Structure 1
């Protein structure tokens, strides 16, 4: 499997087929005298900005942390061992309601969109 080609930008779904987002980054563990091992995937604008370089990644992390708090300064990670199937979509054995993946969207809805008249 060619990881970058086969995984980046693929749709991620939970066990109920709820769309979570797209794979924006991969987290690898470097091991001495062994090939690297994928330990997690990253989702979110920070991971996507990191693909453009370290400077855009740091700027996006600072922006997210300044708007929503320190907990939003890192991309969301899903452990690789939770992968259930890799096909057209990447299916994880998680329930999206048990994670904080949509916390940023909830924060934006409550603090920004909700304050727009007529929203």
Structure 2
């Protein structure tokens, strides 16, 4: 399997077919004398910024931590063992309501968009 071609930038959907986001990064475990093993996929702006380099990744992590607290200073990770199918979309065995993936979206909806006249 070519991970870059088959996984990176594909849409991720949860067990209820809710679109979560796109795969922005892969986490590999390096093992002495053995090939690397994929342990998680990453989603979010921090993982995406890291693809541009270490400096943009640190900048985005710092901005996210400043705006949302320390718990937002890392990208969202989904364990590789939760990946159920790799096809047109990446299907994962999680319930998005049990994660913090949509925290920013929910905050923006509640505090910014809802105050725009005609947005309700």
Q: TM-score, normalised by structure 2?
A: 0.92
For 1:58-90, what per-residue CA distance to the aligned partner results, in whole angstroms no more than 9, with x for missing partners? 101111111111111110000000011110000
Aligned to 2:6: 6
In the other structure, the counterpart of 1:94 is 94
Asked whether the equivalents of residues 72 and 104 of structure 1 are also in contact (C-alpha less than 8 Å), the reply is no
**Cα distance change on mapping 1:65 and 1:118 into 2, 3 Å:** farther
* Equivalence map 1:51-70=2 (5 Å): 51-70=51-70
Q: Which runs of 5+ in 1 are unaligned?
A: none
Q: Name the structure 1 match of 2:45.
A: 45
Task: Report the counterpart of residue 28 of structure 2 in structure 1.
Answer: 28
* 2: CA distance, partners of 1:106 / 1:114: 11
Q: Secondary structure of the residue that 1:65 maps to in structure 2?
A: helix
Q: Deviations over 1:26-60 (max 9, x none)?
A: 00000011000000000000000000000000101
Number of residue pairs matched by the alignment: 119
Q: How many angstroms does 1:111 deviate by?
A: 3.9
The answer (yes or no) to whether the contact 1:13–1:91 under 8 Å persists in 2 is yes
Q: Is the 8 A contact 1:68 1:107 kept in 2?
A: no
